[in-house]
Amino acid sequence: MKRLLFIFVFAISILHQLGAQGFEGRAFTGFTLSQMEGDNLAGFDKMGFTSGVQVMFNLNEKMLVGMELAFTQKGSRQGIFDLKVFNTDVITTLNYFELPVLFELRDWYDEEIQGHRISGHLGLSYAFLFTAESGHDLLIPFVDQFDNELSIMAGGTFAINKRWYLTMRYQRALTKMYKDDTLTNGGLLNYLWTLRTEFKF
C-alpha cells in the first residue's frame, strides 16, 4: 500500500506540471458487477463495492488528464444459469487497490452548473490484489497464487448539479490474474462494470 501511495503522489506531481491551468478533486463511492473468464461461471453476478478519490488536471477547456486511488471489489458468483452445475452458492471475492490513469473529454457546457454536463474517459489501471477468497472448488487450490493485474477502462459521466456526478464504467483486464492450462482459456481474467456517485470538492 505504501508503494501505491508513493506512485500516486509521484504521478500526481507529474500530471500537475502537465495541467498547470488548474485541477479538480472528487471523492466517489458506488457498486460493481463483475465476472471472471476461466472459472466456468457466466454473467456479471458478483456485486461489490468501490470507493476512492480522483484528481484531474486541465489540459484545455474540454480535455483533462488525471489519476484515481481506489478500493475495488471484483470476482465472480454463481448465477441463475449456473444453478444446474453447482448445488451451493459459489462466490469468489477479490479486493484490490487500484491506480487508474485517465484521459477525459468533456462537452455540453451549462451555465447553471458552471461546467460541462457530460464527459467520456479512457484509461489504464494497475490493480494490487491484497486479499482473495473463493468457495469455488476449481479455484480453492490456487487462490493464494492470484496476482495483480493491468486493465483498460472506458466510461462516461453525467453532472447532476455543480457538485454531484454519476459515472458508469466498463473495465477489462489485459493480464490474467492467474495462469493455468487446466482452466478455461488458460487462466482467469477479470471483467467489471461500475456505477458510482462522485462529489466534487
Q: Could you report the average pLDDT of every consecutive run of 10 residues in the chain (201 residues)? A: 58 53 88 93 91 92 93 89 61 95 95 93 96 89 93 98 97 94 85 97 88
Among residues of the chain, what percentage have pLDDT more than 70? 85
Q: What is the count of structural domains for the chain?
A: 1
The torsion angles phi and psi of 122, rounded to 5 degrees, stand at -130, 150
Distance CA(22)–CA(55), nearest Å, equals 11
Q: Which of 50, 44, 31 is nearest to 77 (CA)?
A: 44
Rounded-to-integer distance, Cα 171 and Cα 121, Å: 12
HSE, CB side, 13 Å, CA atoms: give it for residue 37.
13
Predicted pLDDT at 142: 87
Q: What CATH number is attached to the domain comprising 153?
A: 2.40.160.20
Predicted confidence at residue 10, as pLDDT, reads 56
Distance CA(33)–CA(43), nearest Å, equals: 9
- What pLDDT score was predicted for residue 84? 54
Q: How many Å apart are CA 134 and CA 74, to the nearest integer?
A: 12
Give me the domain span that covers residue 89.
2-200
**Distance between CA atoms of 191 and 135, rounded to whole angstroms?**
19
| pLDDT tens string 53-110 | 999 999 888 999 999 999 999 999 987 665 555 556 789 999 999 999 999 999 999 9
Q: In this predicted structure, what is the pLDDT of residue 140?
A: 87
Residue pair 65/18 in contact (Cβ under 8 Å)? The answer is yes
